[in-house]
Amino acid sequence: QITLKESGPTLVKPTQTLTLTCTFSGFSLSTSGVGVGWIRQPPGKALEWLALIYWNDDKRYSPSLKSRLTITKDTSKNQVVLTMTNMDPVDTATYYCAHSPLRFPGDWYFDLWGRGTLVTVSS
Amino acid sequence: QSALTQPPSASGSPGQSVTISCTGTSSDVGGYNYVSWYQQHPGKAPKLMIYEVSKRPSGVPDRFSGSKSGNTASLTVSGLQAEDEADYYCSSYAGSKVVFGGGTKLTVL
């Protein structure tokens, strides 16, 4: 059974760096064809894809946020970490991590999601 | 402004069918057979309903079906049930990135 859980601060100040951790079980990120992505959702708004990391450490980022994002994995701890620099109130959102089967190149869908963590950016 | 365009709302009575559209471009929906659909109930995480345009994950009722024509993908919910009332989001691969639609609120009358 695959599970994912997001953790990190609930409140960050503008200009600070956000660090979120996704701790998962039921799969290994060293297994070929597996990925973990991050998606966020501002209150009352749509989903927005942020980043994706492959089992082979290949990484992809949303072009509009690429300069602010870093995604890494720790296979031994079954964790994926997302950092976002220079936080702004518009970054207030629920941040989700999700498992991606990566059946084919470009087949980037998310079949299992964590419950999400709400991050508020405010001074 | 979301990359993919969905109607803000859709509705139907129990037992009826409703179709939600998702319009993109040849750079996303039209260019790849990698369209997925997610259902989200209030306060809950999204749930995958359709992947690769028309495939259903295990456990998703066959009342849910997906299709694509050109740059527009569609999600059809047949035999509407009260529990189908939720927000629905489409998503597509768009060349080294993922794009989502703005979401459609489905109301079961």
pLDDT tens string A62-92: 999 999 999 999 999 999 999 999 999 999 9
Question: What is the pLDDT of chain A when averaged over all its residues?
Answer: 96
How far does the CA of residue A81 sit from the closest CA of chain B (Å)?
19
User: Burial level of B36, CB count in 10 A (0-12/13-18/19+)?
Assistant: buried
- Contact list, B54 vs chain A (CB under 8 Å): none
Cβ contact A102:A54 at 8 Å: yes
How confident is the model over B75-88, as pLDDT tens digits? 999 999 999 999 99
Cβ contact A12:A87 at 8 Å: yes
| Other CB atoms within 10 A of residue A17 CB | 12
Residue A13 has pLDDT above 80, yes or no: yes
C-alpha dihedral, B44 to B102 to A86 to A90, nearest 10°: -80
Token pair belonging to B78: 């047949």
Cβ contact A50:A41 at 8 Å: no
Give residues 57 to 86 of A whose Cβ lies within 8 Å of B. Answer: 60, 62-63
User: Burial level of B69, CB count in 10 A (0-12/13-18/19+)?
Assistant: exposed
- Can you give the pLDDT at residue B86? 98
- Contact list, B91 vs chain A (CB under 8 Å): 47, 49, 109
Cβ contact B91:B99 at 8 Å: yes
- Can you give the pLDDT at residue A65? 97
- Can you give the pLDDT at residue B47? 98
Residue B52 has pLDDT above 80, yes or no: yes
Please answer yes or no on whether A111 and B48 come within 8 Å at the CB atom: yes
- Can you give the pLDDT at residue A39? 98
Residue B38 has pLDDT above 90, yes or no: yes
Give residues 7 to 36 of B whose Cβ lies within 8 Å of A. Answer: 32, 34, 36
Question: By three-state DSSP, how is residue A75 classified?
Answer: helix
- Can you give the pLDDT at residue A112? 97
Cα(B47)–Cα(A110) distance, integer angstroms: 9
Cβ contact B29:B71 at 8 Å: yes
Question: By three-state DSSP, how is residue A91 classified?
Answer: helix
How confident is the model over A18-75, as pLDDT tens digits? 999 999 999 999 988 899 999 999 999 999 999 999 999 999 999 999 999 999 999 9
- Contact list, A60 vs chain B (CB under 8 Å): 96-97
Question: By three-state DSSP, how is residue A26 classified?
Answer: coil
Question: By three-state DSSP, how is residue B78 classified?
Answer: coil
Residue entry with tokens 């064809």: A33
